[in-house]
Amino acid sequence: MQDFLRSRIASFGHAFRGWWYVLRTQKNAWIHAFISTAVIIAALWLKISAHDWATLVIVIAMVWSAEFFNTSIEAVVDLASPAHHPLAKVGKDVGAAAVLIAAGAAVIVGLLILGPPLWEWVLATFF
């Protein structure tokens, strides 16, 4: 049982090192962090429903997961093909496209959930 617990603790350590690596090395991760934080603050301020929270958490996690997968793909491709190769470029480009798709979907979901109450607030405040 002790070995099991030690290995689980070590697994968390590996995961947090990976997370820190992404934050340290990927400029887009800082954009994701800023937007994720802004969305969470807006959702708290607007007091959205539990269902809307669940949806936002899923799409935020989807974007972060795509960014993490893309970073891991880039690292493995760089290891396997240090020289520039057309297929290495395809792998990296497709990974980046996955992040773009996830981020685009998250923007749409965010607008659908946060847009109407924000628009109501703007109308009530300024008109």
Alpha helices in the chain (DSSP H): 2-25, 27-46, 50-80, 86-126
Number of independent structural domains in the chain: 1
Tell me which residue range forms the domain holding 52. Answer: 27-126
Task: Give the torsion sign (CA, 81, 83, 85, 91).
Answer: positive
- Residue 69 counted as domain residue: yes
Instruction: For residue range 80-118, list pLDDT tens digits in order.
Output: 998 999 999 999 999 999 999 999 999 999 999 999 999
The average confidence (pLDDT) of the chain is 96
% of the chain exceeding 90 in pLDDT: 95
Q: Are 113 and 56 in contact (CB under 8 A)?
A: yes
110 in any annotated domain = yes
Phi-psi region of 47 (alpha: psi -120 to 50; beta: other; left: phi over 0): left
**Would you please indicate which residues are annotated as catalytic (active-site) residues?**
67
Tell me if 3 is assigned to some domain.
no
Q: For the residues of 33-47, what is the DSSP string, one character each?
A: HHHHHHHHHHHHHHT
**Residue 116 included in any domain:** yes
**How does residue 69 score in pLDDT terms, banded at 50, 70 and 90?**
very high
CATH number, domain of 39, equals: 1.10.287.3610
Reduce the DSSP state of residue 24 to 3 states and report it.
helix
Span 19-65, pLDDT tens digits: 999 999 999 999 999 999 999 999 999 999 999 999 999 999 999 99
Domain assignment present for residue 59? The answer is yes
pLDDT of residue 2: 85
Is the entire prediction scored with pTM above 0.85? Answer: yes
Instruction: Tell me the pLDDT band of 1, cut-offs 50, 70 and 90.
Output: confident
